[in-house]
A and B are shown apart, each in its own frame.
Chain A
Amino acid sequence: MAAAAALTLTGTLLSACGSDGKPVVNWYINPDGQATLGALAKKCSTDDYDIKIQLLPASATDQRTQLARRLAAKDSSTDLMSLDPVFVAEFANAGWLEPFEGADADALVDDDVLAGAAETVKWDDKIFAAPQWANTQVLWYRKSLAEAAGLDMTQPVTWDQVIDAASSQGGTVGVQANRYEGYVVWINSLIQGAGGNILDPDTVEEGRDAKVTIDSDAGKAAAAVIEKLADSKAAQPDLTTSNEGTSLGAMYPADGPGEFMTSWTFVYKNYVDLLGKPGGPADEAALKDLGFARYPETVQGEESKPPIGGIDIGVGAYSKNVGWAKEAAKCVTTPEAQAELAVNEGLMPSRASVYDEKALSEAYPTELLKLWRDSIDSGGPRPKSAFYSQISSAVQSRWHSPTQVDPDSTPEKSAKFLRDVLSGKALL
């Protein structure tokens, strides 16, 4: 018995050590920006410990499932993890994340951190993760298309205007409307852009008791935009299964004027890399024709709420190296680390000051950096709830397919279903 216990103990200790016997801090990352994250892990390793990268699956759902399975089993080797912002509330509420307190918390979320990104790491008045990089969506478009349609892009534009402009010129509007998380991102931003929310922000953290507010004028306005796009000539042929990748090709088609498209920050680097290649701009002039503007308004005159994404770094509550893991979390989220991620990988900083770095202004147009920073600062988060996954699936279930969305019935139906799901009275 004693021998077995000793063997188990030795095994556990060995598994927490590297090949040279130095303790290891495991960092579970998603596949974005692996090269820079690998370099960061090396740079942030110290004489006391090595940071070892462990790769998570590509899809956000699978990342969440894998981390949750480890943490639910109280895995002591999950020290550091890259988290999609929407998972922070779930994981923190489950007691799986070690909170940052005192000076640590103040240093990680100070005034320099953009509001949209700072909001994602807070739960129950505590800081549960360190914002590493932030993501947001803007409206990408072909300047020639907007000009031909007579749309003044120096002023905020509405979804209606964008759809009409694209329709009138034989162009299209690219969105994410497959039955997946990306569709909820769109719906949430449309509703917030009309001054509403899927769940009442004052009660959203109450979990099952949160007040459902999707059946509102804002919900109807959002449904009206989806209905209008689905019924218009501007809808792309694969609207019902569209994702971030499918609409990229419609910007520089072989024939046609291109598109307006709402998508994340990676789009710019994507087209720069595709210069002269199939699916990308044919030449520099075509690349210069790529315009960007603030996320469209749902209601004219009401400021839009661009989606917020990115990655926050959490520390596992069952880690045997909590102290080192917190130290590592601080190291991989420094302004220098954020600048490297932005320049090398196109993953935008969560700190305002980093946008002024010379390396960034050399890599991206100044006005684009300003647009991203403003969007992250004034963007709207998805519902912060310990039941986020259920909320997201319930919304997808009643709002998909976009061709069947009806402002008069969809918000109402989805509100009832969401209430039933949250109270455990309906299956998903």
Chain B
Amino acid sequence: MSLTKAPPQTSSPRRDAKPEQSDRMVAENRLGRRLVAPALLLMLLVTAFPMLRALYLSLFQYSLTAPDDREFIGLSNYLTALSDPLFWKTTLNTVFIMIVTVGVELVIGFAFAMVMHRVIFARGLIRTSILIPYGIITVVSGFAWQFAFSNNNGFVNSWLPFVDETFNWFDGYSSSIAAIMISEIWKTTPFMSLLLLAGLAQVSEDMIEAAKVDGATWLQRLTKVILPNMRAAIMVAVLFRALDAYRIFDNIFVMTAGAYNTESISFLTYRQVIEQFQLGIGSALSVLLFLSVLVVAFVIVKLFRVDLAAARQES
């Protein structure tokens, strides 16, 4: 019997078309709602309240150190932020970091996933080694990489033959941002590879065997069989990591403190609220940050949906 069978046309199209529930089910549902209510309330308190509070504060010109000067200014903070070149500079910088790190992590993460999937000997050891960086706190990894890139006591300069021993990585945009991104990639590639490993495990071995029997090369098996079959896993991995990368803060805070235009949008928001105590404009920035995260999520989901539809038409 089909589970998607339409309800009988004879009944009313309203809710009462549903099958009648027994008294016991109604009572159980009621109890269930009561049991869930405290958790729901708590969740609303810890998530909705700060968001609504930020929305409210963003309508004021309000500094924590001048509480008496608080003034309602409507949407002016949003206009100020959106018309300020610094906002767009940091947003572009954040998008740049997101695209580069997620792109590199996708490639390396997939390679790691293949290794973890196919490895025959010392499987536990290899998997653990690959996953170690992800277990390290981001601030700690930021400091570790800052020391590694230091021209006083770091090892990176001596390992790279084309870099001078005295080269200061944190004395300009390109090298600073490169160091930040390397740290970010090192830290979160294992997460990407974990998600992709789950996707790889779902690809049927039969299909790969069949492709092999048909004479498909390794590259053909990868591009025609494996990757199309793990598209959903790739989407999840890219979406999770892209949203994570868009919120980048710790590495920048530790390695450059935002110098040489390496600021991200999260860092800009932090500075307004925590350093400058400007609750009004800071709240407006955090609302804009929240909205832009939604946009990023929407774009990625949309992008992959288009791909999936196209794939279906091809097949």
Contact = CB atoms under 8 A, between A and B. Distances in A.
Given A61-B275, A65-B275, A389-B275, A427 B65 contact: no
A93 B66 contact: yes
Interface in B267-315: 268, 271-272, 274-278, 280-281, 285
Nearest to B90: A427
Interface in B24-60: none
A13 interface: no
* Cβ-closest 3 pairs across A and B: A90-B65, A94-B65, A386-B66
A95 B69 CA distance: 13
Contacts, number: 64
Contacts of B136: none
B87 interface: yes
Contacts of A61: 275
B150 interface: no
A425 B86 CA distance: 12
A72 B276 contact: no
9 contacts: A68-B64, A72-B277, A91-B65, A94-B66, A208-B69, A387-B63, A387-B65, A389-B275, A425-B80
Contact of A72 (B64, B77, B268, B272): B64
A129 B110 CA distance: 60
B84 interface: yes
Interface string A30-72: 0000000000000000000000000000000100010011001
B95 interface: no
* Main secondary structure on A side of the interface with B: helix
A427 B66 contact: no
Interface of A: 61, 65, 68-69, 72, 90-91, 93-95, 179, 207-208, 241, 386-387, 389-390, 393, 424-428
Given A426-B84, A427-B81, A65 B63 contact: no
A80 to B, nearest CB: 20
Given A427-B81, A427-B84, A94 B272 contact: no
Nearest to B68: A93
Contacts of B281: 424, 427
Given A72-B64, A95-B67, A386-B66, A424 B275 contact: no
B80 A387 contact: no
A94 B67 contact: yes
Contacts of A393: 275-276
A208 B73 CA distance: 15
Contacts of A207: 66, 69
A426 B268 CA distance: 12
A427 B64 contact: no
A389 B81 contact: no
What band does the interface of chain B fall in when counting residues whose beta carbon is under 8 Å from A? 20 to 34
Contact of A424 (B61, B65, B271): B61
Nearest to B89: A427
B52 to A, nearest CB: 20
B104 interface: no
A366 B259 CA distance: 43
Contact of B259 (A91, A179, A428): A179
A424 B80 contact: yes
B132 to A, nearest CB: 30
Contacts of B171: 241
B93 interface: no
A91 B171 CA distance: 34
A389 B274 contact: no
Contacts of B67: 94-95
Given A424-B80, A427-B268, A386 B274 contact: no
A93 B65 contact: yes
Nearest to B80: A425
Contact of A68 (B76, B277, B285): B277
A100 to B, nearest CB: 20
A393 B61 CA distance: 19
Contacts of A65: 274-275
Contacts of B73: 424
A93 B277 CA distance: 13
Nearest to B84: A427
A63 B138 CA distance: 23
B277 A424 contact: no
B61 A428 contact: no
Contacts of A424: 61, 73, 76-77, 80, 278, 280-281
B272 A428 contact: yes
A366 to B, nearest CB: 40
Among A208, A241, A424, A425, chain B packs the most CB atoms within 10 A around the CB of: A424
Contacts of A72: 64, 277
B80 to A, nearest CB: 6
A393 B274 CA distance: 14
